[in-house]
């Protein structure tokens, strides 16, 4: 896929075998600039020195897991790019973990064992359909709503809204 050749991806996973598999999948898409780190803390240091387009991060790692990594990227004043698309990759897809990752500011979620098509879908989603970014007191990250706002006509869009303007 020639249009992916220019991407730079930071892959963060403490399992060297998973890194090798994921890197091979990324290479099959034409992505050649893949930086690897085996823990979140070292990955943060890498972000300071190497600007990347996407981070693919494992959920479970020590000393810093993927959720802590994501929170740091999203909220730290020292973060080089709070808008960095982050794809969380994990073998644990329980609802609580998905919500924890979402609430930390993860852009997309990918379950292991990974499938090439699913990974390509997630990468395509963050590139071709970027979501609005939200910065609030309790949350910083992509908008959690995945709906298109096609018919949105402003705050007075329901039939019962009194101040609805008619054009």
Question: What pLDDT, on the 0 to 100 scale, is given for residue 167?
Answer: 41
Residue in this structure with the two tokens 């998973």, named with its chain if needed: 18
Q: Tell which residue, 41, 23, 31, has the closest CA to residue 6.
A: 31
> Once rounded to an integer, what is the mean pLDDT over residues 22-36?
96
- Residue 13 near residue 19, CB atoms below 8 Å: yes
> CATH class for domain 2-142?
alpha beta
Render pLDDT for 95-150 as a digit per residue (tens, 0 to 9).
999 999 999 999 999 999 999 999 999 999 999 888 889 999 889 999 877 655 55
Q: Tell which residue, 35, 30, 54, 58, has the closest CA to residue 116.
A: 30
Indicate the pTM of the whole model: 0.84
Residue in this structure with the two tokens 């006509």, named with its chain if needed: 153
- Residue 9 near residue 87, CB atoms below 8 Å: no
pLDDT, the chain, mean: 87
Domain edges within the chain: 2-142
> Once rounded to an integer, what is the mean pLDDT over residues 71-87?
95
Sign of CA dihedral 97, 98, 102, 106: positive
Distance CA 167, CA 154 (A): 13
């Amino acid at each position: 896929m020639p249009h992916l050749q220019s991407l730079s991806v930071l892959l963060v996973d403490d399992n060297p075998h998973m890194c090798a598999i994921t890197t091979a999948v990324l290479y099959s898409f034409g992505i050649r600039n893949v930086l690897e780190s085996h823990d979140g803390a070292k990955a943060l240091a890498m972000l300071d020195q190497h600007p990347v387009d996407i981070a693919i991060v494992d959920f479970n790692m020590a000393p810093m897991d993927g959720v802590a990594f994501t929170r740091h990227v999203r909220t730290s004043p020292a973060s080089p790019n709070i808008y960095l698309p982050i794809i969380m990759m994990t073998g644990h897809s329980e609802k609580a973990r998905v919500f924890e990752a979402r609430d930390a500011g993860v852009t997309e979620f990918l379950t292991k064992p990974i499938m090439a098509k699913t990974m390509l879908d997630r990468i395509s989603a963050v590139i071709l359909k970027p979501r609005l970014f939200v910065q609030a007191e309790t949350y910083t990250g992509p908008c959690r709503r995945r709906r298109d706002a096609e018919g949105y006509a402003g705050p007075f869009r329901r039939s019962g809204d009194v101040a609805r303007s008619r054009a």
